[in-house]
Amino acid sequence: MATWLVTGANRGLGLEFARQLRARGDEVLATARKPDRAEELRATGAAVLPLEVSDPDSIGALAKALSGRAIDVLVNNAAVTDEDRKIGDLSMDAFRRVFDVNVFGTALVAQALLPNLRAGKRRLIANISSQLGSVANASSGFSYAYCASKAALNMATVKMAKDLEAERFTVVTLCPGWNRTDMGGAEAPLDPKDSIRDLIRLIDGFTVKDSGRYVQHNGKALPW
């Protein structure tokens, strides 16, 4: 049995992580911005903790609440997107909001939970990115801030992987594929059940040799 911490677990892919991990008997520390409204998450048997990823005080409070607790796998899942798809639509506010959550928040959650991860058996950080963060595959039509934030998260992942190599951490950046969630929309081809089953299987199999990789849910490497 392993202990996982999953951010943004009250809906979407984070909730599916909690469901599947609890169903096989793993311990899940699941975060939500509004724990009192996270009924579906609580029903999985996960422990629900408050976390606003863009607020350093909230991240600090989470680390304090978990002080001394070993965590095997951190899944940095919480993220936001926006609709600014054309150069003329861009605004500083939207860019900041997306970067605060998807990049700064994600990196600071990893930083704050390092003592817990050091005490764990896996020392594994899985950053949930997107194929939209691939510079090599970039196309027009998607949110500027979201794509740029996931490219920045990919770089932060590689930095963490190198930084923590001597401590035998495994830090990876993963794309779940296009899924039917609030973010992915109803037209998405993938059912979160399948995508998260694939991601859990991948994460289970990762070793330090995989650290720094950028991989899709089906196991295929993505071009940076």
- Which residues of the chain form contacts with ligand NAP (CB under 6 A)? 8, 10-14, 33-34, 51-54, 77-80, 101, 128, 130, 175-176, 178-179, 181-184, 188
The token duo for 161 is 């992987």
Residue least distant from ligand NAP (Cβ)? 12
Q: Which tokens is 210 given?
A: 């995989």
Instruction: Indicate which residues carry an active-site annotation.
Output: 146
Report d(CA 159, CA 186) in Å as an integer.
35
* Nearest to ligand NAP of 8, 120 (CB atom): 8
- The alpha carbon of residue 50 and the mean position of all alpha carbons in its chain are separated, in whole angstroms, by 16
To ligand NAP, the closest distance from the beta carbon of 78 in angstroms equals 3
Taking the least distance from each CB to ligand NAP, the nearer of 28 and 128 is 128
* b/e code 93-131 from CB counts within 10 Å (16+ = b): ebbebbbbbbbbbbbbbbebbbebbeebebbbbbbbbbb
Which residue number, 68 or 223, has a Cβ lying nearer to ligand NAP? 223
Minimal distance in Å, beta carbon 46 to ligand NAP? 13
Closest distance to ligand NAP from the beta carbon of 8 (Å): 3
CB of 168 to ligand NAP, least distance (A): 26
**H or E stretch at 16:** helix 12-23
**Closer Cβ to ligand NAP, 35 or 119, answer by number:** 35
Nearest Cα residue to 38 out of 63, 60, 18: 18
Q: Where are the alpha helices (DSSP H) in 87-177?
A: 92-99, 106-112, 114-118, 144-163
